[in-house]
Structure 1
């Protein structure tokens, strides 16, 4: 891979220029090797820094012609790829912030985000267009800070509606500097853009890479459920050197890349693997080291959206011993952040004592869009800092600081959960469920998925009026309105839900009830009908087992039954062990199990 002969000046924490300025400098660099270096790469094409800036300028002119300018928000309804990066930069070019949305989310959900944010315009595959005036969404008070908003990311909210997190340009630039230093990024690196655009990790994959003059590589839009061999092929073809994956996906890949199954899988070009989104264990690291990624440096990251993606990280080189802890530590602060482990009275606790994690330092979000009250609840003045206007963010996470300084995540202090890397407020899920006609009560919980890998599944118990909706109809309703991660994989309808002494739903009793039903769902109840082929028979057996759905039949839809990309990957792996081949994406896109079975091939 050709190196830049005259690289950009190195990023330093003392002078982290805004990301767009760094990219513009590369696009207009006097050295042609810098200008023509690949900024963005797909399987079919590359876009140089100079070409990227040309696209940015064109889109910026179109936005300006629509009247988009300082302080506006522009929604992005684009798939992952070079086009969305150019659109993001064009928003900054005219002084606007962007609102990235998951391309796989239902239109109704994305329309709701556009309306809630008060977006002035939207960019889709047809280009920029203005939107009808929506509700005013006043920005939270800046407390004297001069930091224009870079982007708005919506996360799950405990009040039943998503909340928009505002991240400033300076905060993003500081974070990009910290990540570039943490991962030792250089202009010769290629980082894979893997996360969905509605997930803030996508910003971390893009901007630190471009800030150092590196290359961002993109998968095809449908390539979010890849088998180990498929991912290795894509990564090798794109020249990826840094791979960032959700912990759940990484854990499953590593478990499938053992022994003979890993013989034809190579990640030789990958030097660093970054994981995050939920807790990892040290036993996962041993599995990682026994597979084709074992030569790489492993980085375990942690960070709520409000702390601008990854705020702490634990770096473990391949030649270093695995920590003698059960949970893999989340490490120390990234960049200019400060970590405070405090008790209920907000006093520091001694090392080795559990406490709540508060994150200080300048790379913090500004607050919640149009919600100063909630902003004041989570962002507080930092009494441990000397700088004026210093703030800290209350994470709600229980942690323990080891004597050597590394922090270990222990769990949540409220009803927020992490599933497949997504932060989910259980109250929000319950709000969607009780909003369905006929549903009288609902309780959502997170259950162990029974695989022994630490994975979790979102589950819900409901009570409905006589003659009300079935679990299948409820799931169908939700899938038409919500992103997949907010739709419970397990839905059970009961006459009544258990209550505690105060007359409220007993969440622990509900969790125990659902866990028992989930555990004891067996194939003994499976339909007696004989499938048409051995492929279909084997596929149905695996789906019934993994979804705990004994009545799943040939004409049923995998997604409507609660399936997702990780379950599809597990089905694919189980078939591969038995000598059959089915791409996870084939299962996800098939209309029913019978159609998916027709795509199965003998290895």
Structure 2
């Protein structure tokens, strides 16, 4: 404080006409630290995208178990072959780069096959939860205007049908099964697509809550998804003999870690049925029955499991994220599990952007340091760097930044702004709206929100969206949530 006071007096007396807000209180050494040493996390990612890397993993471990869903078990060869057949079927329907294909499928092997197939075709997938309200599903389908909707016969009967509704492909119908039998099981390449698949092409579009009452679609490119998965392989490496329990709906972006991280590591995905996730006993039964070693979940899920049968978590590797981690829960997980990683990141910067290893630590859980090829800045209202220990708004830049919001250029320009601290010109950073501060080691501590957004079981909720729905009612003039 004394040093900063001297810097303030020196600047004010040397340049008395300078506005106080323009005075930089950080020393040269602190600038070097905040923009240098604490962001030194660059790494080569390579040119092969997720579809190519999964195909290579299938060739490396063809007979290893890739997916377990109920009584269904698929090897890497079987999963890859089924995804290839569906990818060729999608290509015949016009799929390719710059097209969007929606998925409304139950938690089954067909869901994982379809996700991989869309990526192999070069298109971007739009994941839908069939249990979401029909009004929300109808809005998302109308807003994204997908070229095709993959679903099942039973689920299709529950989906909304409106003007401009996309063409359906029911993956379990007799016609589709005949079509798939006629498709090759070889990996599609650029020669099969209408255009080559590039790192900048969209991998998926996922919708989040919107403050104006309209959910907004975030467009995430292949390069950002691949950078994230490479970072997770470094932060949370998986052995081929490990199994990860996937509990998250695909409409929530963190599901991508649960599915793709194991499949690029030679490990196995155990896909939890929808009805099992809200029941702690069912989740713990899946962990025990299948020898699960890694589980990712929101603090809400972990709280349920700890309260139900804490000793059943012994030996697990635990990943926590999606909302603030309470101190008491962190203390319990530190004691019970083999290692504990706290993860943080908004959808707009591709799932998780920072990570903190909490194993063996004490006190308030931190959200850590940025993952590879990611830069974080703690800034004031004038986009100036604040000193370590000072609360500011978190901005995230680097390889994980999404392309923006689908069909919302003004909102994109508002939230994705120019990065004044980037080493290269033209870079953008995302304004998170989260308030944080850095400790003397560059680790981030989450403080709260700069707006009214809240998190419920990891899901982002904008109160403004609820207000907009309420005021649509003819008898309600004003609403506040």
TM-score range, shorter chain: 0.7 to 0.9
CA–CA separation in structure 2 for the residues paired with 1:99 and 1:80:
15
Residue 311, structure 1, aligned to residue 338, structure 2: no
Answer yes or no: is the 8 Å Cα contact 1:16–1:173 preserved in 2. Answer: no
Counterpart among 247, 271, 274 of residue 299 in structure 2 = 247
1:78-116 Cα offsets, whole Å, 9 max, x none, are 022321121112112222100001132123321221111
Q: Which has the higher contact order (CA 8 A, sep 6+)?
A: 2
* Corresponding residue number in structure 2 for 1:85: 112
CA–CA separation in structure 1 for the residues paired with 2:199 and 2:278:
41
CA–CA separation in structure 1 for the residues paired with 2:162 and 2:115:
18
* Corresponding residue number in structure 2 for 1:288: 333
Counterpart among 104, 113, 116 of residue 140 in structure 2 = 113
Unmatched segments (≥5 aa) in structure 2: 1-42, 167-197
1:158-200 Cα offsets, whole Å, 9 max, x none, are 1110000000011100100001111122322211111111101
Answer yes or no: is the 8 Å Cα contact 2:333–2:340 preserved in 1. Answer: no
Answer yes or no: is the 8 Å Cα contact 1:13–1:174 preserved in 2. Answer: no
Counterpart among 349, 354, 373 of residue 410 in structure 2 = 373
Cα distance change, pair 146–37 in 1 and its aligned pair in 2 (3 A): closer
**Aligned structure 1 segments of 4 or more residues deviating by more than 3 angstroms:** 126-135
CA–CA separation in structure 2 for the residues paired with 1:267 and 1:396:
34
CA–CA separation in structure 2 for the residues paired with 1:255 and 1:187:
31
CA–CA separation in structure 2 for the residues paired with 1:336 and 1:128:
40
Task: Count matched residues.
Answer: 404
* Corresponding residue number in structure 2 for 1:382: 419
Cα distance change, pair 427–128 in 1 and its aligned pair in 2 (3 A): closer
Cα distance change, pair 99–434 in 1 and its aligned pair in 2 (3 A): same
Displacement of 1:119 after TM fit? 0.6
* Corresponding residue number in structure 1 for 2:83: 56
Residue 298, structure 1, aligned to residue 329, structure 2: no
1:24-65 Cα offsets, whole Å, 9 max, x none, are 112234xxxx11111111231211111111111221232223
Answer yes or no: is the 8 Å Cα contact 1:13–1:178 preserved in 2. Answer: no
CA–CA separation in structure 2 for the residues paired with 1:171 and 1:217:
25
Counterpart among 359, 363, 375 of residue 338 in structure 1 = 375
* Corresponding residue number in structure 2 for 1:25: 56
Counterpart among 225, 228, 233 of residue 285 in structure 2 = 233
Cα distance change, pair 40–388 in 1 and its aligned pair in 2 (3 A): farther
CA–CA separation in structure 2 for the residues paired with 1:85 and 1:295:
28
Displacement of 1:339 after TM fit? 0.9
Displacement of 1:395 after TM fit? 0.4
Displacement of 1:132 after TM fit? 7.0
1:489-529 Cα offsets, whole Å, 9 max, x none, are xxxxxxxxxxxxxxxxxxxxxxxxxxxxxxxxxxxxxxxxx
* Corresponding residue number in structure 2 for 1:273: 318
SS, match of residue 235 in structure 1: helix
Displacement of 1:430 after TM fit? 0.8
| TM-score, with structure 2 as normaliser | 0.80
* Corresponding residue number in structure 2 for 1:494: none
Counterpart among 232, 238, 252 of residue 199 in structure 1 = 252
* Corresponding residue number in structure 1 for 2:225: 172
Counterpart among 36, 41, 52 of residue 68 in structure 2 = 41
Choose 243-252 or 154-163, whichever is displaced more.
Answer: 243-252
1:296-344 Cα offsets, whole Å, 9 max, x none, are 2111111110010111111122xx1313x3xx21111122111100111
CA–CA separation in structure 2 for the residues paired with 1:175 and 1:155:
19
1:347-379 Cα offsets, whole Å, 9 max, x none, are 111100000100111111110001111111111
SS, match of residue 478 in structure 2: strand
Unmatched segments (≥5 aa) in structure 1: 1-11, 136-144, 445-603
CA–CA separation in structure 1 for the residues paired with 2:289 and 2:99:
39
SS, match of residue 442 in structure 1: coil
Cα distance change, pair 431–131 in 1 and its aligned pair in 2 (3 A): closer
SS, match of residue 105 in structure 1: coil
CA–CA separation in structure 1 for the residues paired with 2:321 and 2:65:
27
SS, match of residue 480 in structure 2: strand
Displacement of 1:397 after TM fit? 0.7
SS, match of residue 441 in structure 1: coil
What is the root-mean-square deviation in Å for CA atoms of aligned residues?
Answer: 2.2
1:212-233 Cα offsets, whole Å, 9 max, x none, are 2221111112112112x33221
SS, match of residue 274 in structure 1: strand
Answer yes or no: is the 8 Å Cα contact 2:272–2:283 preserved in 1. Answer: no
CA–CA separation in structure 2 for the residues paired with 1:367 and 1:36:
39
Residue 158, structure 1, aligned to residue 211, structure 2: yes
Cα distance change, pair 99–127 in 1 and its aligned pair in 2 (3 A): farther
* Corresponding residue number in structure 2 for 1:322: 362
